[in-house]
Structure 1
Amino acid sequence: MTTDVPLKLAVIIGSVREGRVGPVFAEWITAHAATSFEVDVIDLADHADLPLAFPAKDAAPSAEIVAAVSRLTPRLEAADAFVVVTPEYNHSYPAALKNLVDWHFTQWQAKPVGFVSYGGVSGGLRAVEHLRGVFAEMHAVTVRDQVSFADYWTLFGEDGGLTPSDAAEAGAKALLGQLDWWARALSEARASRPYAA
């Protein structure tokens, strides 16, 4: 893959709760990413029909399950890299996000994943630490740098607009730079030799 070919980045909004602010952070990182990536925003609130229960081991999935999963699978498959936007709920990440990960496997393999997190004093860091182990199990590569927003509610003006710090802006640049490097390296590797899970 040459450096002038735009990479495809899926930005995943992990929270589906009423009153969530994940879309604001997704819009912020998407604006940064759009200069170098082709961005697809996947809002899990638009996929509430993704079932929680898996079919029995020897049972075929229902038509409803197939339809719900197949609406997401091609978008994940097409992505060269991912940014997961997640809050921290009770020292971890949202159930809807785990459900998305669990319904897919090869779509994550040998691709890089970065994180934008938000929460209270920890800024969502504990959610990300849990997700790193989950994505390792999916054979994905999580990049080192991330962007976290502690006490995120203090970052919104009266107009509802986000006012991130200079550190967050620099963090976004580092995160996206690492995703670009890993996505290109891994894309070339997958093209030359199939990944052995």
Structure 2
Amino acid sequence: MSQPADTSKISPTSLRTQARMIDAVVDVVARHGISGTTFANVSATAGVSQGALVFHFKSKDGLLTETLSRLLQEYEQAWRAAFASPDPLDRILGLIGADFSPSICSRKKLALWFSFWGEAGAQPLYNKICVEAEDARHQAMLACCRELVETTGGPDPELLTDSIDAFTDGLWLQIHIQSQPITRTEALDKAHAHLRLLLPHHAGRI
């Protein structure tokens, strides 16, 4: 399977073209799933030739791998931006907020996430990219929870981290598959309510 592309030597024009192609992949996967994604429907959606897709990404695997890598880079940028506060509870709230930000938690993006997660077991590179990215995010949340518990007391930090992240995953699933899905705002409210149950001594700040 193809490795993620090195974009350090690509011209700005080519980067913009690639970004349009990646956006097209998001649209096509949301409609057809990974198995139904082809160079033909991606090129039609992006308004480029199939030859241009081959030039930039070589193969469908290359196109999908680069899409996954960029999706995860976008997610990491979002949660790291929310990780700047010196206060651990603020950082926890920021990490949760990033999970439900418009750029991350759209219906199309969630369709892409779940499609890649569904393929990860059979595609070693997808699995490697996802595991590495998710571990970085998990370790960031765990560091916040440990600092909060060490400073003010509370539940076991690893259990606290797992509870927060599992609840977020469940809310993403509700947004993605329910016939009447909850909104991002409703999901964030539920995540905050759940955190108040986990951290009753901090409920006034959540």
Q: TM-score, normalised by structure 1?
A: 0.30
> Which of structures 1 and 2 has the larger relative contact order (alpha carbons within 8 angstroms, sep 6+)?
1
Rg comparison, structure with higher value: 2
Q: TM-score, normalised by structure 2?
A: 0.29
